[in-house]
Structures are given as C-alpha cells and as structure tokens.
A = this chain, B = another copy of it.
C-alpha cells in the first residue's frame, strides 16, 4: 500500500473504530492518532482515551465541541429553515463538517498525511467527511477501511478482534439492532426491521423521547428569545447555544416531540429508510419560522424559501465546506439582521404549536392589517389598479384568443 506515515482517525471508542485502529497499524504500518469528540452524542468520551492507549495509540485527542457545533453549524443551518426533502432536519449531515475540520486541524498539528473514518461505502457520511477533508487540505490522503477491507461481516470482524485481542464487548450500544448516530441535534436509526419501509418502527427503538402516548397530559409552554435569527434564551433565561439545544431536547423529548420516520434519497444514489429523533431541532424550526413571520420582509422570506432546498442539498450531500455554501450563507445571514423577538410554543404529545410571536422589529402593522377602521393607513382603491395591471398580460392573451382551460 501507499507510504502513509501517520493517520488521524475519527475514533468513537466503539468496536468498529477500535478494529480500524489495529487494521490501520497493521495494513498501513503507520502511526494512528485518534480523535474523539463530544458533540453531544450522550456518551462519555473520556473512556476512549484508555481504549486508544490499550491499542497502542500515543497521540490522543479528546475534544468537547458541543458549543462550536451548535454555534457554528447547527444555528447557521437553522437560520435557513433547512429541511431536506420536506422532512429531514439534517441532524447527521451537519455534524460531519465539524469532524472533518477537526481531523484536518489535527492532521496539520501532528503532521499526519492521512485521515481515516469508520463510515461505510454506501452512505452519505463518507462523502461528507472526505469532501470536507479534501476541501480543507487538498493533498490529504483518506483511508476508508470499509471500502477496502474484507471484514464485511460480523463474523470476520469478530475473528479479527479475537486474533488481535480487541475486547468485543466494550460497546454496549452495538447490541441495538439498529445502526445509530447521535449528536446534540439528533439521534438516528437505520437498518434492522426498518429496512422494510412498510414496517412501523418498534416503540422501544426510540431513545431520546417518550412516545406521544406516554407524554404528559398537560401541555408545556415555552418562550424562546431570538437575536439575529438565533435562539438565545428560554423563558427569559439567557443560555449558551449548546445549552439551549440541550434544554430544548429535554423539553421536547419529554413531550414526545421530534420523532420522524422517512425514506430519504442518499447522495450515493439509493433510497434508505431512517428514523430520527430531533426534539430541540423540531421546536427550533417552528419557532424560527414564527419569529421570521413577523420580522422578515415578504420577498426576502420567499427568496429564502426558494433557496432553501438547494442549501439543504449542499449540507446533505457534504458540501458544507464549499464556496457555494459560503455564498448562500452570506445571503442567509444578511437576512437575519432583524430576526429578533420572542416566540411562544406549546409542546403537547408529539406536536409543537406556535401560539404567539412578538418583536420590537415586527413588520406586522396592526393599523394596516385590521378589519376595523384603519384611519386611512391603507387605501382600498389602490387594489383596483394593482389587480388591473397584474391582469393586463393575461387579458391581452385572452383577447388574442388564448384559452387557459
């Protein structure tokens, strides 16, 4: 194989990436540097240190990236009301560019010439990791063991572990029949019975939220404060980005909010069925649209809506670190200047209901909108000319005999 000297591996501490450590050492005869990040997946990251050490790793990076994740990735994305294919809040997609960035930063620090990850060759994550890495460090080598090795079944993997003395029981999560991914924004489930899209997800699969049926019989109301398009406070309490999202996850999860069951189109060309829990994100999307509804100009809002699907594609497909995403982000951020104010939402048994919104920057003009006497704020006669000129091209066409039936 190629002459790689040092590789930085995105290391979860789980079985698969532990095998990868050994496999890299063995097959590439290179030093492995591990990088483990806390992005809010809800598992301790510190234990990864001992595990890596046991595998002979000398340079071990363990970072708490939760605030950076929410501040620089999740929040910018929510400014655009981003949804992929009408449903998916991009919980997995948005975490990958941060990991890619840190892998490259560490590669630069330790003088590594390659990075590696544990994503399979069928999924979107390999694309997201690698596009980010190449964009940030064009000469980097990427080793994707799942596309290379022959440990493709559970059995061969276990045999490999035995042979190399890798403890096989240290990752309890893997007892789940599902392939899962979690971070502060969401947890996802794929595989197992979900591979038949007609089969309903089993109730005990869900981990972050109670079922709507088990949620409280009394609704929870929340007031969310927004500044320049970002949530900054809950019920008046100012909180850091990661804290806000964590708090909303708790509140949403307790009310059965944020479960999603979809079939999505992967960038690599196949459809796949996934279940997601995004309690906080589900609230944020609704609330952000609500605060925009009174503070954003109509045409700006519509322009954003028309750009959103492409922006979502960029993130889903792994182009966070691209000039086109940066270009769109500039426009989106510019639009958020006046997106300030408060939104009141009601959480109840799996649903989020917006019930109120107010802002010092509101463009809602009660004097104009009222059904009561508006004291001349709006001249109804203007509407006639407005309609007549908007109709002109169609009247001319109809006069020329064109029919719309």
Contact = CB atoms under 8 A, between A and B. Distances in A.
Interface of A: 81, 85-87, 120-122, 126-127, 130-131, 134-139, 142, 144, 146-147, 152-153, 179, 190-191, 195-201, 212-213, 217, 219, 259, 261-265, 268-273, 289-290, 293-294, 297-303, 305-306, 309-310, 313, 319, 321-324, 326-328, 330-331, 334-335, 338, 344, 348-351, 353-358, 361-366, 368-371, 373-374, 378-400, 402, 404
A345 to B, nearest CB: 10
Contacts of A394: 131, 134-135, 138, 297, 321-323
B380 A390 contact: no
A334 B330 contact: yes
Given A135-B391, A306-B309, A396-B270, A357 B198 contact: yes
Contact of A358 (B198, B299, B326): B198
B395 A134 contact: yes
A391 B350 contact: no
A197 B369 CA distance: 11
A234 B122 CA distance: 36
Contact of A388 (B265, B334, B379, B402): B379
Given A293-B262, A306-B306, A380-B122, A271 B344 contact: no
Q: In the A-B complex, list the 8 residue pairs whose CB atoms are closest, starting with the nearest.
A: A121-B380, A385-B385, A269-B392, A382-B385, A265-B298, A138-B395, A134-B391, A331-B331
A131 B390 contact: yes
Contacts of A303: 310, 324, 327-328
Given A127-B387, A338-B402, A379-B385, 5 more contacts: A130-B391, A197-B362, A213-B348, A269-B298, A363-B397
Contacts of A265: 298, 301-302, 393
Chain B CB within 10 A, most for which of A120, A313, A334, A335: A334
A287 to B, nearest CB: 12
A314 to B, nearest CB: 8
Given A265-B393, A299-B322, A335-B327, A271 B363 contact: yes
Contact of A393 (B86, B299, B306, B310): B299
Contacts of A313: 302
A268 B152 CA distance: 30
Contacts of A131: 387, 390-391, 394
B404 A371 contact: no
Contacts of A294: 197, 263, 271
A90 B186 CA distance: 31
A176 B144 CA distance: 44
Contact of A371 (B137, B179, B351, B382): B179
Contacts of A356: 197-200
Nearest to A196: B366
Contacts of A381: 121, 147, 385
Contacts of A361: 400
Contacts of A305: 85-86, 309
Contacts of A289: 85-87
Nearest to A331: B331
A136 B380 contact: no
Contacts of A120: 371, 380
A100 to B, nearest CB: 11
A250 B315 CA distance: 39
A135 B309 CA distance: 25
B404 A321 contact: yes
28 contacts: A86-B289, A121-B381, A121-B382, A122-B374, A127-B387, A134-B387, A134-B398, A135-B397, A144-B384, A147-B383, A147-B384, A197-B356, A200-B356, A262-B293, A264-B293, A265-B393, A269-B298, A269-B393, A273-B369, A299-B319, A299-B393, A303-B328, A322-B404, A330-B334, A379-B385, A379-B388, A382-B385, A382-B389
